[in-house]
């Protein structure tokens, strides 16, 4: 499938670990590959039309004014190196992270709301991270983005190795986010796992319906932005919506 419009071709930047991506998974034995848009992908069909108005945002974590004039839906996997690249930067992926500038220029000025959607497909740790994020959003919504940032800063090898299992996330919360009561987070996970998993599955299935073939993936207005795109790909779609 040719590159979708809205993102540069970063196919030469793939990490060695990403090249081995195949086989694990979540949505019933999907085969994994690498997209030419700078992100991990699962392969897919023809691109459907998208409209942010059709994206469900009820109950999903977000930052910004809930009544902001523009909404950006952001599908991600906490184990995905390209999600890390677009949020906090990645030493092996030489692109500037777009999310910090989007926050400074649009979120903090009341123009943009970013809604975070789950798309775990790189292993069990991907699901575990998404479940913890849901618990944090339920209990400490004001700390959600700090949790998210810490998760990406701690990210190491993709898939079920290194950081990302429950024990390592627990330790991260203890040391980096002590304002959270870890016991309460664990209790929320135990009590609400079925609810969290249903929401996570719904997010991923919705993303597939809209043509999200991997992570990261974004929809704003009537545009799908696939992969770890530069800031200009976002501003070129956001700015017209503000006129």
The CATH number of residue 58's host domain is 3.40.30.10
The pLDDT-based confidence of 20 (bands split at 50, 70, 90) is very low
Question: At a CB cut-off of 8 Å and minimum separation 6, what does 42 contact?
Answer: 27, 30, 31, 32, 33, 121, 213, 214
Give 95-124 pLDDT, tens digit per residue: 999 999 999 999 999 999 999 999 999 999
Please give the pLDDT value at position 156. 85
Measure the CA–CA gap between 203 and 116, rounded to whole angstroms: 9
pLDDT at residue 15 is higher than 80: no
The pLDDT-based confidence of 41 (bands split at 50, 70, 90) is low
Written as six digits, the tokens of 176 are 């980096």
Supply the pTM of this predicted model: 0.82
Q: Is residue 54 part of a domain?
A: yes
Please give the pLDDT value at position 185. 98
Q: Is residue 1 part of a domain?
A: no
Q: How many domains does the chain have?
A: 1
Domain that holds residue 130: 37-241
Measure the CA–CA gap between 40 and 19, rounded to whole angstroms: 9
Q: Is residue 5 part of a domain?
A: no
Q: Is residue 125 part of a domain?
A: yes
pLDDT at residue 27 is higher than 60: no
Q: With pLDDT > 70 as the criterion, what percentage of the chain qualifies?
A: 80
Q: Is residue 17 part of a domain?
A: no
Measure the CA–CA gap between 84 and 228, rounded to whole angstroms: 9
Q: Report in angstroms the alpha-carbon separations of 114 from 19, 64, 143, 194.
A: 30, 7, 15, 25
Q: Is residue 12 part of a domain?
A: no
Q: Is residue 56 part of a domain?
A: yes
Q: Is residue 223 part of a domain?
A: yes
């Amino acid at each position: 499938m040719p590159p979708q419009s809205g993102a540069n071709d970063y196919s030469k930047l793939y990490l060695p670990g990403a090249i081995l991506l195949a086989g694990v998974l979540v949505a019933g034995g999907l085969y994994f590959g690498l997209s030419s848009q700078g992100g991990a992908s699962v392969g897919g069909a023809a691109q459907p039309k998208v409209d942010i108005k059709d994206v469900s945002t009820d109950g999903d974590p977000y930052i910004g004014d809930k009544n902001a004039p523009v909404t950006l839906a952001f599908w991600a996997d906490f184990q995905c190196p390209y999600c890390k690249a677009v949020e906090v930067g990645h030493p092996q992926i030489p692109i500037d992270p777009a999310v910090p500038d989007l926050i400074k220029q649009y979120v903090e000025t009341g123009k943009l709301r970013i809604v975070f959607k789950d798309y775990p497909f790189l292993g069990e740790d991907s699901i575990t991270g998404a479940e913890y994020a849901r618990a944090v959003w339920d209990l400490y919504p004001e700390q959600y983005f700090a949790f998210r940032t810490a998760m990406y800063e701690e990210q190491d090898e993709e898939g079920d190795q290194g950081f990302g299992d429950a024990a390592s996330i627990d330790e991260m919360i203890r040391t980096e986010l002590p304002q959270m009561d870890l016991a309460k987070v664990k209790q929320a996970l135990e009590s609400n796992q079925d609810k969290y998993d249903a929401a996570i599955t719904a997010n991923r299935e919705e993303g597939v319906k809209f043509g999200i073939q991997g992570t990261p993936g974004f929809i704003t207005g009537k545009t799908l932005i696939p992969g770890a795109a530069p800031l200009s790909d976002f501003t070129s779609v956001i700015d017209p919506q503000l006129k």
